[in-house]
Amino acid sequence: MKTAMLLAALTALFMALGYMFGGTGGAMIALLVAAGMNLFTYWNADKIVLRMHNAREVDMASAPDFYGMVRDLARNAGLPMPRVYIVEDASPNAFATGRNPQNAAVAATTGLLHMLDRDEVAAVMAHELGHVRNRDTLVMTMVATIAGAISMIANFALFFRGGNGNGGNPLAAILAVLVAPFAAMIVQMAISRTREYGADKAGAEISGNPHALASALAKIAGAAQRRPTQAVAQNPAAAQLYIVPTSVSELFSTHPRTEKRIAALQAMGPGSSARPAAVRRGRSALDPLARD
């Protein structure tokens, strides 16, 4: 139902843009385009997101420690084995994508793998698997692609409207360009903030180590804000996929404040003693995981 409501809201926003720039005919064209986009995005959003990040798929041969860690965590979470990716980006972050647990993928940046120790990486990946288990990834991934498309189309619409001698109301055109991305951002905020607390809790249960997740959040939050990923620089809507936000403004962030998430994790007990083998192996650095 939440997915359907999201698609309906974004389709209505898309039609409003079409009406603004093309009247009734523009709204109908926008409806047809939105229907096709929604269908295409449902089946291909994960591929779009991974391509957006230039993510490289790894396996037991190319990244045995990292892949084995995710495999053990997925088993601990009772999930099918997801596809595993590494993103060559100095910004420390991670995300999950896919329309359901059977078609899920998880990814970590090289910046995250270099910065955190083994327990912290395991806790971060457990958080991402928590999103998969809670079935958050479909809505998160579709928002990243559709909201990004709306922002792009709004900017293109202003460009083409400016070249139309018949004009219309230029103030309305400018307003549409400003309102469309803002409205898409409101949708993102509505679906993302509470989900992060749920994924934090699930990640703590899956890894058995809430304090490692709290430590990881404390380490990467500032660095991720100062240096967003290349994908976010091109498409700001992708920021809501990550474990930590890339905006310092709480009003416009798709996540709760990191300090609140850390406090909630620190308030948890030590967690389950049935910890995956990937977590028990120690706290050595994970730099080799980022190399072929």
Taking only the tens place, the pLDDT of each residue in 153-173 is 666 655 555 544 455 556 556
Tell me which H or E stretch contains 56: strand 56-58
Tell me which residue of 246, 234, 256 sits closest to 92, measured CA to CA. 246
Low-confidence ranges of the chain (pLDDT < 70): 2-3, 6, 146-193, 237, 247-254, 269-292
Tell me which H or E stretch contains 207: helix 170-207
**Environment class of 123 (CB within 10 Å of its CB; exposed 0-12, middle 13-18, buried 19+):** buried
**Environment class of 1 (CB within 10 Å of its CB; exposed 0-12, middle 13-18, buried 19+):** exposed
Contacts of 239 (CB under 8 A, 6+ apart): 228, 232, 245, 246, 247, 254
Tokens linked to 74: 């997925």
Look at residue 34 in the predicted model and tell me its pLDDT.
Answer: 76
Look at residue 64 in the predicted model and tell me its pLDDT.
Answer: 96
> Positive or negative, the Cα torsion across 118, 63, 207, 139?
positive
**Given its phi and psi angles, is residue 275 left (phi above 0), alpha (psi -120 to 50 degrees) or beta?**
beta
Q: How many Cβ atoms are within 10 Å of 3's Cβ, its own excluded?
A: 16
How far is the C-alpha of 174 from the C-alpha of 166, rounded, in Å?
16
Q: Which residues of 93-102 are buried (b: 16+ CB within 10 A; e: fewer)?
A: bbbbbbbebe
How far is the C-alpha of 54 from the C-alpha of 57, rounded, in Å?
10
How far is the C-alpha of 86 from the C-alpha of 129, rounded, in Å?
15
**Is 128 known to be catalytic?**
yes
Look at residue 131 in the predicted model and tell me its pLDDT.
Answer: 94
Helix (H, G, I), strand (E, B) or coil at 33: helix
Q: What is the pTM for the complete model shown?
A: 0.77
Query: Which candidate in 128, 196, 205, 250 is catalytic?
Result: 128
How far is the C-alpha of 225 from the C-alpha of 247, rounded, in Å?
6
Look at residue 71 in the predicted model and tell me its pLDDT.
Answer: 97
Q: Is the Cβ–Cβ distance between 192 and 256 less than 8 Å?
A: no
Partners of residue 96 on adjacent β-strands: 106
